[in-house]
Structures are given as structure tokens and as C-alpha cells.
Amino acid sequence: MSARIKNLFTLLFILASGLTGHSPLAETVLITGSNQGIGLEFARQYAARGWTVIATHRRETTPDSLAQLAAEFPQVRIERMDVTDAAQIEGLGAKLKGMPIDVLLNNAGMVRTDPLDQPGGNANQLFGTLDYKLLDDFIHTNVAGPLKICETFIENVKASKQKKIVAISSAAGTITMPPFMPNGAPIPDHYWYRISKTALNSAMRLLSAQFKGDGVTVVMFHPGGVKVESFGDLDIPGLESPEAAIGKMIRTIDGLNLKDSGRFLQNDGKDQPW
């Protein structure tokens, strides 16, 4: 499917879902990791609504996916920003100084070092064969990176109408529910990913408390199972399309207010157990 046809499909999906009527146009969202998967779909749907989209990526050259999106939607602004590179984050912060950002969307993250469809590719996150050097990478990408981005752009958020910070977390970070499959089988895997998402949730809770007095709403999302490129040809039951899953999250984000700050949410706005 060509990018133009996919963007048209997305716009039709948004119109059918009633998303365009939930918030005024010409507001601004900054999305990290926006060149593929969940981030790209967020960028596509916000752009289709008429928002200014600051779409960031870490590649040395502009990804084709974002170039095509910007060609379709002129209000898409592509910026290079690796969430693990403090200098790049600060550099973009300087470029955007004074620009209100209604939704700061921390999406970029690290799940594993090998493709999901590679057998045995997760050994470095399994107890008994843990690669302890990897923990630094996970914490830097999934926790320190989002915090640095929030620290850099907090004044942009405070200057906006909506004043929202969103972090894409995961049910994998849940600590009150053990990681079991529906059939009761344990899932003792992805140690570093799980630990880092738990830490991200803690960081966002602290942030929500610190800036509630400034009117800033901070939430975390478990996006659910979303059929994105990283799954490859894996046939996993129950996965949602990106259009549907991200559409739900955008509707939920639209309806957030300060009373929601600090919540951990599923994509439809229901509470995700901690």
C-alpha cells in the first residue's frame, strides 16, 4: 500500500471515528521515535487532524516514512533527536524555545536487541544468561531519555493550551500482577525491558506530582498488542491494527484533564494495574 493511500485510509478512519471533533486544530504534538510503528501512526493521525507534528527520529538521514508523511501533510516537521543523546535533545530544545507543545509524547523505547521473530534472540534478558551491560542501555533509553526530554521541553508544555505529557509504557512493567500467560504459564523473560518500564512509570508518577500545580497532566499508557513492523511475519492472536489502537489512545488523550495526572492507562482509558 502506498504512503498516500495509507494516509487517505487513516484520514477516513479518523473521520469515521469522530476524532476530528475532540480538540481544536493547529495544536502541537512532539513525538519521539516517530519513523515507524506506534510513533509513526501517532504522527499520521495527528497530522491528519491538522495538528503541527514535530516528528523526531534518530537516523542519520531522514527516514522515507517521515519524508512521505511530510510530503502529504506540510505541517509535519521532521527533526533528528536520539533520546539517548543529551546534546541532540538540548539542541532541539533550543530550536523550539518558546514554541508551545500541547502533547509531549514519549514513544521511543527499547524492547530487545534482536528481532522478535528470531528464535532465542532474547537470551540476554533471560535469567541465567542475563547481559548486565545491557541494563544501562535499557535504563538510558526507556527511563533517562524520556526524563531528559521532559526536563528539556517542560516550559514548552507549560506554555501550551493542553499541557499534557504522555509516556508509552507497557503492562510488562506491572509489579502487582505476575507476568503470566492466560493459560497460567509463567513468562520469565525480558527482565531488562520489564524493569525499565517499571522505572519509567515511577519517574512519570514523580513528574505528575511535581507539575500538577502548573496544570500539567502526565499519564502512562499500556498501548496493548499492536501489529507493528517489529513483529515481522509472526502470527500472534489478538493484536490490534495501529489505526485502531492509536485511535483509541488519541481519543483518551483528548479527554484527559488534571484529575487524570499520574494514571497508568490502557489504550481505551481504563486503568492498567500497577
DSSP states of 173-217:
G-SSS--B-TTS-B----HHHHHHHHHHHHHHHHHHHHHGGGT-E
pLDDT band at 11 (very low <50, low <70, confident <90, very high): low
The residue behind cell 484533564 is 257
What pLDDT is stored for residue 164 in this prediction? Answer: 99
The model's pTM is 0.87
What pLDDT is stored for residue 20 in this prediction? Answer: 46
User: Residue 16 pLDDT > 60, yes or no?
Assistant: no
Domain ranges of the chain: 3-266
- Cβ atoms of 256 and 217 within 8 Å: the answer is yes
Average pLDDT for 44-52: 98
pLDDT band at 24 (very low <50, low <70, confident <90, very high): very low
Gyration radius of the chain's alpha carbons: 18
Q: Which residues, in sequence order, are CB contacts of 87 under 8 Å at separation 6+? A: none
Helices (H), the chain: 3-17, 37-48, 64-72, 86-95, 133-139, 145-158, 191-211, 242-254
Residue 166 has phi, psi (to 5 degrees) of -120, 135
What pLDDT is stored for residue 170 in this prediction? Answer: 94
Q: What is the mean pLDDT of the chain?
A: 89
**Assigned fold of 3-266:** Rossmann fold (3.40.50)
Distance, in Å, from the CA atom of 228 to the CA atom of 225, rounded to the nearest integer, reads 9
The answer to which of 24-28, 83-87, 220-224 has the lowest mean pLDDT is 24-28
Centre a 10 Å sphere on the Cβ of residue 26 and count the other Cβ atoms it contains: 10
